[in-house]
Every structure is written in C-alpha cells, then in structure tokens.
Structure 1
Amino acid sequence: MIIRAILTAFCVTAVIFASAGSAAHGPTEIVKRNFEQTIPNLPGKPLVALEVEYPPGAASVPHLHAKSAFIYAYVVSGAIKSKVNDGEVRVYRAGESWSEPPGASHPVGRNASKTEPAKLLAVFVVDGNDKELTAPVR
C-alpha cells in the first residue's frame, strides 16, 4: 500500500512538472522529412525538403542552420513569423516565400496565429556530410 501511494504521488508530481514545463515553453513545431534526392549535376549536394507544421501558437526554438545549407522556405498554409540573421521580423502568408543563406541564424520562427495552424515547406541544398540541418542556439 505504501509503495502504491508513493508511486501515485510520484506520477502526479511528474505530470504537474511536465505540464508546467509545456505551458512555460508553449507548443513546438512538427517537422517531417518530405523528400530527399541527390542532385546529379551537383555531386555531394542533396536536395532535402522538410514539412514544418506549426499548431496554433507553436514556435521553433532559436537555431542555426548547417554551414553549407542554402534554404528556400515556402508557406503552404497559414502565416509564419520569421527572422533570419539580423534581419527584420516578418510575417509570411500562404503562397509567400523567402531564402536563407548558408549558416543562417534563425532566432524567430513561429506560427503568427494563436488560433489557426500553419505549414511551411523548407527546401535545403546542403553538403551530403552535413547530417544535422539545424542546431539549437546555445
């Protein structure tokens, strides 16, 4: 009986701390690899496409892109708030796009809406050796 009470207390405490952490940081994006293909006339440079889904209010953690990655970003649906390097924060709506130079810093990437989802297609041309396309800013 005592073990059951201790286990229950532990589980309740874990759930409280887990939900408090989620609330403090908010929801995050969902990233799915959509496509990957080597580019025949650019040896060692694959083209990688990622779908980035942002639930309402979701955001990416500030991150850096691979030093070799040229990125084309296209908003499929909704609106995305984005900042690249030291540029201005901009809102891109469905059908709009932007590019990011190799090694770009991405301090802001989030759904511009707290009520509607948003989706982005990010297309990378990157060195085949760069397995990590993004890394969190430390």
Structure 2
Amino acid sequence: MNINHKVWALALLMSAAGAVSAHDAKDHKDNVVPNFAQAIPNIPGKSLIAVEVNYAPGGQSLPHHHANSAFIYAYVVSGSIRSQVEGQPARIYKAGESFAEEPGAHHLMGGNASTTEPAKLLAVFVVDSDDKTLTTPDK
C-alpha cells in the first residue's frame, strides 16, 4: 500500500474514531466527515489530516483523548463551539476563531454552544502517519 492510500485509510479510521467518540450521532448530534489527508513530504512519517465536525443545535461530542502524536488546529467555520481541554478553562469560539490542542490532549467538552443554530468546526491534525486511532472515547 503506498503512502497516499495509507493516509486516506488513516483519514477514514479517524472519521470512524470520531464517530465512536461521539458515541451515537443521533443522540449527541455531531457528525465527523473526512475532508483532506496527505503525507507531509518534507516531514517523513507525518501526515496532515482534516475533518469537518458538524454539530446540530445543542449537539455535543463525548469526552475523549487524542493520539499522543496529534497536534490539532481547529477553526470554527460557522456558529459557535464550546470547547475545553483538561487543564484549561471552557471557552466559546465563534465563527472565524481558532484554537490548538497539544498532542495527547484530553478533550473534556466539545460541542455546539447554541441550542438553535448548527455549528461547524474544521479540525486539522498533524499526526504520525502510522497512528491508527486518533480519537479514543473516555470509558
């Protein structure tokens, strides 16, 4: 399997992991959709993977951990997102704002800050190309 196939497989696995971290999309009202995946040619062993996280009004993700290799840049495309990573205060980010999460972050809270409007987040991961599980739900 060449590196591009590995990266796309990883993106699909990450999408599935996001769906698992959301537990049941109709109960928690989030939807993770692969957007982009590519090996980073000048950083051997690293890949860039992007996913859209769409939240229905009031939608939330269950608490989860990110892969130890995953540095995440998150950009709020529309609506407003409430987020909290362990050790930091909860915060609401509005469309056009962004934030980062360190490798291995424990995401305590994530979701739509509005109960009446949808929200969309673009999450961009810089991750070891061989990481198979990028998001693990809390037990």
TM-score with structure 1 length normalisation? Answer: 0.80
Q: Match of 1:110, as an amino acid?
A: G
Deviation at residue 26 of structure 1 after TM alignment: 4.2
State how far apart, in whole Å, the 2-side matches of 1:114 and 1:131 are: 33
After TM superposition, list the pairs within 5 Å mapping 1:27-106 onto structure 2.
Answer: 27-106=28-107
**Structure 1: any 5+ residue segments left out of the alignment?**
1-21
State how far apart, in whole Å, the 1-side matches of 2:73 and 2:36 are: 14
Identity across aligned pairs (percent)? 60
State how far apart, in whole Å, the 2-side matches of 1:34 and 1:105 are: 23
Q: Match of 2:78, as an amino acid?
A: S
Is contact 1:72-1:100 (8 Å) kept? yes
Query: Does structure 1 residue 116 correspond to structure 2 residue 105?
Result: no
Q: Match of 2:68, as an amino acid?
A: K
Point out the structure with the larger strand share.
2
Q: Match of 1:60, as an amino acid?
A: S
Deviation at residue 28 of structure 1 after TM alignment: 2.7
Q: Which residue of 2 aligns with 1:13?
A: none
TM-score with structure 2 length normalisation? Answer: 0.80
May I ask how many residue pairs the two structures share in their alignment? 115
SS at match of 1:126: strand
Larger Rg: 1
State how far apart, in whole Å, the 2-side matches of 1:101 and 1:125 are: 10
Q: Match of 1:84, as an amino acid?
A: V
Q: Match of 1:129, as an amino acid?
A: D
Deviation at residue 137 of structure 1 after TM alignment: 1.0
Q: Which residue of 2 aligns with 1:6?
A: none
**Structure 2: any 5+ residue segments left out of the alignment?**
1-23
